[in-house]
A and B are shown apart, each in its own frame.
Chain A
Amino acid sequence: MKKVTDFLKTCGIGFYVTFAAIVTSIVCLILFGVGLSQGYQSWGSFVCLLVLILADVALVAFKKEAFAPAVSTILSALAIGFFIYVSYNYVAIVITGIDIESFNADWIMSVVFYVLTYALSVASIFVPWAKKDKQAIESKESE
């Protein structure tokens, strides 16, 4: 517990943003399971999100966390791309309004969380991962 507490003391906002991206990725995976039978969910997205989560955890574990934001951004972009590619027919059908007259909640939630994941991943690129980084940057900038 103390190790975790000590670790968190060193973490800057970047860590928390990346952590939030991992959480939203997990939500996307849950929504994937809920909506799989509807056919608008993509296995490509599933794989990307799973790799995103595992890679980020591994990078932190092996102290290569500097690459985590980039990995998150690329993989979340691919995930959202696969999702759009697979679900556009569903959108067309809903808009046509013959068979389905409105979007279901799972699809709407998926859109929200895919976008969130990507936005958080992008944000994590621009914020410092660790407090020491921030302090170092601030001291260098003051120099």
Chain B
Amino acid sequence: MSKKYTLSKALLVAFGSLAGVSLLAASICYQNTNAINSYLHLTNYVQVETGDGTADTTYYKTDYDSIADLVADTDDAIERIVEEGAVLIKNENNALPLSKGDNVTLVGIGSYNSVVTSTGSVSATSLTGREVNLKQGLEHAGLKVNQAAWDYYASVSDEYTPVRNGMMAPGPLIAAINEVPWETANAAYGNTLAQYGDAAIFNVTRVSGEGNKDMNHSGATDTPNGDALTLSNDERETLRGLKALKDLGTIKKIIVLLNGTATVDLDFLDDEQYGVDACLQVQAVGTTGFNGVGDLLVGNVNPSGKSNDTLWVHNSENPTLTNQLGYEFLNPDNLELHTPTDGQGGYEQHYVVYQEGIYLGYRYTETRYEDYVMNTANTGNYNYANTVAVPFGYGESYTEFSYSNLTTTYNRNTDSYTVSVTVTNDGDVPGKEAVQVYLQKPYGEYNRTNKIEASAVELVGYNKTTDVIEPNDSETVTITVDRRQFASYDAETNETYVLTPGDYYLAVGNGAHDATNNILAAKGYSPSNTNNRMDAAGDASLAKVIETVDTVDTETYSTSRTGQKIHNLFDDSDLNKNEHTKNTSPVEYITRSDWNGTVVLDPLDNNTNYTKITMTADLLADFRAGWDGSMLEQDDVEYPTYGVNAGISLAAMMQDTNGNEISYDDPLWDEFMDQLTWDDTVALLSEGMRMTAALPSVNKPATVDHNGPLGPTQPYTDGTLTSTYPSTAVLASTFNPALVDEVGELYGENALHCGYAGLYGPAVNLHRSQYSSRNNEYYSEDSFLSGYTAGRQIKAIQENGIYCYIKHFVLNDQETNRYGLSTWLNEQSFRELYLDAFDITIEVGDPHAMMSSYNRVGTRVSGAKSNLLTDWLRNEAGFNGFVVTDMYQLGSYGSLTFYLGLLSMPTGVFCGNDLVDGSITSANQFEPYREGYGELAWKMRESAKRILYTVCHSAGMNGVSTTTRMQYQLTWWQTTLITLDSIFGAAALGALGFFAYEFYRRNIKKEDSQAN
């Protein structure tokens, strides 16, 4: 009996525990149903065909019968992107190409721990097994690689990996570079170097990615100044060691590869103590990109990439670094600012000011250089050679190209110029060349008086030769330049785009610096007449005054492409204009009228020269308006009609009976939308974790919308793992629109075969500096290169029925303190750089979705700014699609309550942010607005319509006809959980009964024995 009693207790504990676990699991899983279904490519609504099933419902067809073929083409494209996007930035004495059969040694721990991609939303679920490492890439190209050195680095790769702190942990991202000391490495394999001494190839790697930290300016323990983006002491010692061996004749050449997501200081490149002969910037290469690197090194392919960024001798020469990481507000009134961990969220501590204005990257270096050459007052003793290692747009080749016959033709119908130039191959080997067109706007008295800044050059067009040009052959390259780019934004006087008085130049050249020198030459400057301030003789024939404006033109570009009258929209994010900051926290932006007085170079983390902002009660109240509901006011507007049974399914909204697409403004859409209930509408807006929700009332299927910017991260439908494309920065460096089209088409095919309807990416934030952890996903420091590349790519992707969510709208240009970071800038730089990248993307690519950003634009996150999402994005820029938040969690994990205190979804919808990217529904947030908020209700309906319209014209509708019905069905994991719950629950109840019985018998027996 005692044994039975013990058994009853054991069974009760066992089944009680199992029942508890299964109930808990069910509770958590049901809370995250959408996320799980999306991840597993499942839906609770199966499609049941009620018609004859004869209609062709594959609206977006694939060109691939076999996923294996698609994988092969993708991996081939990845190689070609690297071949065209790697930038040869130094090649002294034709050190490259190497000869096939050369014996080479891969040097440095980075040669083994080479960089394929970064972390975060670009990360695939796991390695595919198809990854090509650097050694394989070189051997693929016919080089013989020193096995002893390779084996040595393999054996110490765990020990000598960079020391990193977690994204949310204290301390810098990179605590140590941790290169193998040269003495140690040389002792291990130095005796093999003579045999493999045709070249020593030193791979410099740096990796960062999505998160809450950027590359650190200080705190790395093994670099000369703590900066993670300079060569470490051991890396420098390695190069010195190689130089010594080169001097001894043991090795013949030192080749440096720059392989990573950020570029280090290039101070070592021309420093004789390191003896670098050639340098190839390859960045993050993707799954098979090292095959392309091998092909480039041996000359199977001639390099034709151009730098997508300005590369600095010392990154600290970049003036943006004085205001980059995010600083704490001055708080003299001791206002209680919410912290991430106080349970109220809000992230109210940090801000950043774009004090550099429009002078970002080459816009700074080239403009100050031009003023220096022209001996303009207040330029200071600017030394271009000590500042810029590689100009934006620059790239070398194994051959020599010359440009001639620059012609320009104005086309009145399109208000654009056609620029053509003849490219001739003057060298000995075939090659491609990317031609870049730069614009110089005037910077005269009108600009100075009205505080309209103008860059010496800005990229306005580019194209690449269609194929390789053979030696002594030529090709004429034609480029279209939109004249709208000639306008400058006048935020002070006319509050619109204007053409300022003066001469407008167009110039071509091998990068921004070449173009600047060509313009200077056209102006009559030369090294000799500038006392050698001008560093090279330009070619005046490659630059010309294309227009001269006599008086300011305030009309021509005062309306947008959509016909919207343009006026200031963002005074609230300019410290000098926001009513809560203009008196307490004014800022002096960099102006070319006074370089000396306004450029502050002080990039150390403990710098004191950053712009200060004082927090006030009024400012803080505006910080909280995105969350506290204060923007939503009760009204007496009548609510939309809900729940009408009109029998119109979403599939019927694709085309009318004549086969014509039903436009967004067609009255039939009103009839269709009347069918949705309030709950349908809320469900559609509040369930969006990598998906859009199914709506059975209108037979809308759920969609799978997933990462990421470097290709789909989820497996193909047959389980094959997807490849990772090279960094988008590499794609941008190709300067090849035709290749971008091809890659976009492949992205679309990849996504289609992953079962996606929407792709989270690409992203067109700018490289404000090399330190931004997310540069791997962003194209460039330049808005035109970013926007045009993204636009072409997106257009090609979307032709496959995949809508792209463009990330991250807007100003998510750094990761440090990204949640709620308060970002301030003037309207000219906002419009001409950061919004311009999105504007060009929209114009060229017509993206159908957009992701708003975590950071504040001024006081509120972008999802809570109607001037941004409605007035600019939709009305001015003409964006036709829906906006989703970044990953939305209000949840219960402290420092990761991403939007707590920042954005409530009703406020977001009111401002134009249509959908939430959250695994847990935010439907309860809408509950208080069922009555008395008619304006909000209509905006909810509009948001729902945007989502439905987008899905209606996507691959998400493949398989859905007008007679298809959505039928609720449990997924396999739900059925499993219910079954387990039932079994364990019943077993626990049985065990309880058994226990009660035994307990009763035991006590009766006890009583009996006591009675006896």
Interface residues of A (CB under 8 A from B): 37-40, 42, 73, 77, 81, 84-90, 93, 97-102, 104, 122, 125-126, 137, 140-141
Contact = CB atoms under 8 A, between A and B. Distances in A.
Given A99-B211, A99-B212, A126-B9, A40 B24 contact: no
B889 A85 contact: no
Interface in B9-48: 9-10, 13, 16-17, 20, 24, 27-28
B166 interface: yes
A90 B341 CA distance: 14
Given A98-B120, A126-B10, A39 B897 contact: yes
B894 A39 contact: yes
A46 to B, nearest CB: 13
Contacts of B28: 84-85, 88
A97 B167 CA distance: 9
B211 A98 contact: yes
B981 to A, nearest CB: 14
A93 B896 contact: yes
B212 A39 contact: no
Contacts of B164: 101
A98 B122 CA distance: 10
- B interface, how many residues as a size bin? 20 to 34
A93 to B, nearest CB: 6
Contacts of A37: 341, 894-895
6 tightest A-B contacts by CB?
A: A39-B894, A37-B341, A39-B893, A101-B166, A90-B893, A38-B894
B167 A85 contact: no
B891 interface: yes
A93 B893 contact: yes
- Greatest chain A CB density within 10 A among B10, B20, B168 is at B168
26 contacts: A37-B341, A38-B341, A38-B893, A39-B891, A39-B893, A39-B895, A39-B897, A40-B892, A77-B17, A77-B20, A87-B893, A88-B28, A89-B896, A90-B896, A93-B893, A97-B123, A98-B211, A99-B167, A99-B168, A99-B896, A100-B167, A122-B13, A122-B17, A126-B10, A137-B2, A141-B2
Given A86-B892, A90-B893, 20 more contacts: A37-B894, A37-B895, A39-B891, A39-B894, A39-B896, A73-B13, A77-B20, A81-B24, A84-B28, A86-B893, A89-B893, A93-B893, A93-B896, A97-B119, A97-B123, A98-B119, A99-B167, A100-B169, A126-B6, A126-B9
Interface of B: 2, 6, 9-10, 13, 16-17, 20, 24, 27-28, 119-121, 123, 164, 166-169, 209-212, 341, 889, 891-897
A5 to B, nearest CB: 30
A99 to B, nearest CB: 5
Contacts of A87: 893
A75 to B, nearest CB: 12
A86 B892 CA distance: 6
- Greatest chain A CB density within 10 A among B17, B27, B341, B896 is at B896
A89 B140 CA distance: 44
Contact of B166 (A38, A102, A126): A102
Contacts of B897: 39
Nearest to A103: B166
Nearest to B212: A99
Nearest to B3: A141
B2 A40 contact: no
B211 to A, nearest CB: 5
Contacts of A102: 166
Contacts of A104: 169
Contacts of B341: 37-39
Contacts of A126: 6, 9-10
A40 B893 contact: yes
A100 B892 contact: no
A93 B894 CA distance: 12
A37 B345 CA distance: 12
Contacts of B121: 98
Nearest to A97: B119
Contact of B24 (A38, A84, A89, A141): A84
Nearest to B29: A88
Given A39-B895, A137-B2, A89 B889 contact: yes
B893 A101 contact: no
Contacts of A137: 2
A85 B27 CA distance: 9
B116 to A, nearest CB: 16
Contact of B895 (A38, A101, A122): A38
B892 A39 contact: yes
B32 to A, nearest CB: 9
A104 B10 CA distance: 34
A99 B213 CA distance: 9
- Greatest chain B CB density within 10 A among A39, A42, A73, A125 is at A39
A86 B167 CA distance: 21
Contacts of A89: 889, 891-893, 896
